[in-house]
């Protein structure tokens, strides 16, 4: 069930990553399409501005001509004869037509008459406020494109030649040599064509008075197939790498778990083999105690320590055999002051053989705590054994018992090289050993502190580790 849940979780994770990756690819595609659209709008606007700039040039030129014609009809005739851009001219003053070219064109005649009758038609298509009326501008009606200007109460109008203006626009576009694909048309009539026609297009209408002119820009869609393929390839590569990392992590986990099981099995087998010789040691130590009970001190005392330690070692072996299972507790009042002194007497000769001085600091009065004596001894023995193995260069170890209100603290302080702060939490993990110079050449299974932690939790105690300079402090805190 756990394997199925893990596999489903991995599949969901990979699907989620694939979804996020594909959404990123789609976002990039939309971004490129949007950039392409913005570029097209910018280029079509440049073409539009080029055409309108040509019309604005005509505006400046015609404004100058209007100043020359004012109240001079002969000048108007001369301009019609010499200026190919100008098709017709009219001069209107107070609803009267003072000058009108080409009387034969009835549509032109009616158009000028309507302007003479109501000058406001010239202003309706201009951008102006009610308080201010323009003095010049464009007027477009039917196919007539007229520039008008007010000079000395006269309205002077010039009709531009649409054909000539169209040719000028064509010439301008040819000179600028646009590399774009676009079409320019006046209504249904095509004026200019450049490049190819594609499925995608943007069409705009030129500003007044060329509102009948349409500019259509054609452009191909960017090639996004390669982007999709690249995105799919990157997502696939990422998933392959992720799957490889997962497989590697699973293999390492399986290897570590297999090694841990082997270590547990080995410790269990070795511990089981210890039971028989320990039973014999206990038996013969009891027999020796009976035969040598009348011997002078310290022989009986040493035999008592041998017998007590063999029994305790038997219980410790039994705890190792039931590793990860709660030990059977024997809660009773324990005099920790006496217990600390017993531990001191047990470890002092062992540590002196390693050139380590064991110092004891204990309470003068008795310190009674309801706890399991074997658990406390096993925890402290573990602390002292680690100090013996890993802090021998510190030359001394302090064993102390202190009391603060209801809390009793038993501390083992060494003066060795210590452990890095970021590793302090890991040292209580099963089979974990610090990889440093202090552990080189020192045997160990890595379960001592794990068992100590479990025992402390069972007796409602707490283990604290503090990194000192130099050395370490391991403390067992109990409630009195």
List the domains of the chain with CATH numbers. Answer: 17-160 (3.30.450.30), 164-219 (no CATH), 330-479 (3.30.565.10)
pLDDT digits (tens, 9 = 90+) for 138-151: 998 878 889 999 88
Q: What is the pLDDT of residue 186?
A: 87
Q: What is the pLDDT of residue 129?
A: 56
pLDDT digits (tens, 9 = 90+) for 327-336: 678 889 999 9
- Point out the least confidently predicted range of 47-61, 110-124, 288-302, 355-369: 288-302
pLDDT digits (tens, 9 = 90+) for 376-387: 988 898 888 888
Helices (DSSP H) in 332-372: which residue ranges? Answer: 336-353
**Location of structure tokens 């001219």:** 89
- Point out the least confidently predicted range of 20-24, 72-76, 331-335: 72-76
- Backbone φ and ψ of 92, nearest 5°: -125, 140
Label residue 285 by pLDDT band (50, 70, 90): confident
Is the pLDDT assigned to residue 307 strictly greater than 90?
A: no
Q: What is the pLDDT of residue 441?
A: 46
Name 159's bridge partners.
88, 146
Kindly state the average pLDDT of the residues 59-82: 82
Is the pLDDT assigned to residue 458 strictly greater than 70?
A: yes
Q: What is the pLDDT of residue 446?
A: 65
Is the pLDDT assigned to residue 131 strictly greater than 50?
A: yes
Cβ neighbours of residue 81 under 8 Å, at least 6 residues apart? none
- Point out the least confidently predicted range of 102-116, 213-227, 294-308: 294-308
Burial 19-54 (b: 16+ CB within 10 A, else e): eebeeebeeeeeeeeeeeeeebeebbeebbeebeee
Q: What is the pLDDT of residue 147?
A: 92
Q: What is the pLDDT of residue 88?
A: 92
In percent, the amount of the chain with pLDDT more than 90 equals: 12
C-alpha 465/C-alpha 386 separation (Å) is 13
Burial 79-113 (b: 16+ CB within 10 A, else e): beeebebbbbbbbbeeeeebbbbeeebeebeebbe
Is the pLDDT assigned to residue 57 strictly greater than 50?
A: yes
The alpha carbon dihedral of 54, 57, 58, 59 has a sign of positive
Helices (DSSP H) in 120-224: which residue ranges? Answer: 121-124, 162-176
Order of strands across the sheet that contains 189-194: 189-194, 181-186, 213-219, 200-205
Find which of 31-45, 60-74, 295-309 is predicted with most confidence, using mean pLDDT: 31-45
Tally of CA atoms within 13 A in the half-sphere of 436 that contains its CB: 12
pLDDT digits (tens, 9 = 90+) for 396-452: 899 999 988 889 999 999 888 878 777 777 787 776 666 554 544 445 556 778 888
pLDDT digits (tens, 9 = 90+) for 167-197: 989 998 888 877 889 999 988 889 999 988 8
Q: What is the pLDDT of residue 410?
A: 93
- Point out the least confidently predicted range of 16-30, 218-232, 279-293, 460-474: 279-293
C-alpha 169/C-alpha 164 separation (Å) is 9
Is the pLDDT assigned to residue 343 strictly greater than 70?
A: yes
What DSSP element (H or E) covers 194? strand 189-194
Is the pLDDT assigned to residue 479 strictly greater than 90?
A: no
In percent, the amount of the chain with pLDDT more than 70 equals: 86
Is the pLDDT assigned to residue 356 strictly greater than 90?
A: no
Nearest by Cα to 375 from 455, 474, 463, 460: 455
Helix axis angle, 336-353 relative to 373-390, nearest 10°?
A: 30
Neighbours of 332 (CB within 10 A): 10
Q: What is the pLDDT of residue 118?
A: 87
Label residue 236 by pLDDT band (50, 70, 90): confident
Look up residue 151 and give its two tokens: 């000079």
Kindly state the average pLDDT of the residues 237-266: 79
Name 278's bridge partners.
none
Classify residue 90 as left (phi > 0), alpha (psi -120 to 50) or beta: beta
Average pLDDT of the chain to the nearest whole number: 81
């Amino acid at each position: 069930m756990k394997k199925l849940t893990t596999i489903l979780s991995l599949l969901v994770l990979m699907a989620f990553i694939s979804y996020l990756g594909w959404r990123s690819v789609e976002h990039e595609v939309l971004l490129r399409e949007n950039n392409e659209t913005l570029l097209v709008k910018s280029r079509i606007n440049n073409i539009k501005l080029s055409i309108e700039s040509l019309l604005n040039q005509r505006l400046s030129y015609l404004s100058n001509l209007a100043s020359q014609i004012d109240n001079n009809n002969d000048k108007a005739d001369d301009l019609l004869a010499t200026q190919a851009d100008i098709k017709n001219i009219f001069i209107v003053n107070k609803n009267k037509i003072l000058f009108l070219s080409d009387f034969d064109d009835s549509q032109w005649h009616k158009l000028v008459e309507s302007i003479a009758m109501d000058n406001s038609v010239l202003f309706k298509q201009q951008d102006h406020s009610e308080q201010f009326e323009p003095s010049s501008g464009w007027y477009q009606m039917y196919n007539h494109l007229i520039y008008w200007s007010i000079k000395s109460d006269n309205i002077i109008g010039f009709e531009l030649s649409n054909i000539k203006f169209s040719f000028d626009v064509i010439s301008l576009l040819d000179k600028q040599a646009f590399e774009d694909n676009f079409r320019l048309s006046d209504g249904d009539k095509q004026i200019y064509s450049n490049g190819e026609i594609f499925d995608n297009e943007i069409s705009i209408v030129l500003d007044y008075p060329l509102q009948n002119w349409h500019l259509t820009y054609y452009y191909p869609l960017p090639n996004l197939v390669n982007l999709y393929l690249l995105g799919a390839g990157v997502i696939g590569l990422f998933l392959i790498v992720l799957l490889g990392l997962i497989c590697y992590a699973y293999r390492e986990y399986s290897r570590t778990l297999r090694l841990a099981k082997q270590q547990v099995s080995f410790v269990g087998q070795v511990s089981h083999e210890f039971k028989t010789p320990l039973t014999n040691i206990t038996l013969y130590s009891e027999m020796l105690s009976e035969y040598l009970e009348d011997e002078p001190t310290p022989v009986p005392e040493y035999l008592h320590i041998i017998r007590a330690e063999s029994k305790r070692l038997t219980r410790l072996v039994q705890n190792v055999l039931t590793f990860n299972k709660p030990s059977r507790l024997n809660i009773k009042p324990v005099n920790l002051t006496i217990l600390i002194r017993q531990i001191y007497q047990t470890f002092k000769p062992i540590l002196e053989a390693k050139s380590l001085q064991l110092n004891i600091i204990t309470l003068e009065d008795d310190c009674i705590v309801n706890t399991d004596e074997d658990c406390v001894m096993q925890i402290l023995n573990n602390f002292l054994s680690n100090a013996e193995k890993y802090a021998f260069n510190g030359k001394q170890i302090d064993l102390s018992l202190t009391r603060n209100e209801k809390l009793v603290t038993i501390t083992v302080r060494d003066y060795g090289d210590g452990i890095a702060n970021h590793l302090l939490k890991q040292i209580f993990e099963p089979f974990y050993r610090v990889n440093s110079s202090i552990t080189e050449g020192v045997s160990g299974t890595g379960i001592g502190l794990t068992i100590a932690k479990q025992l402390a939790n069972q007796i409602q105690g707490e283990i604290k580790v503090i990194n000192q300079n130099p050395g370490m402090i391991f403390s067992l805190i109990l409630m009195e």
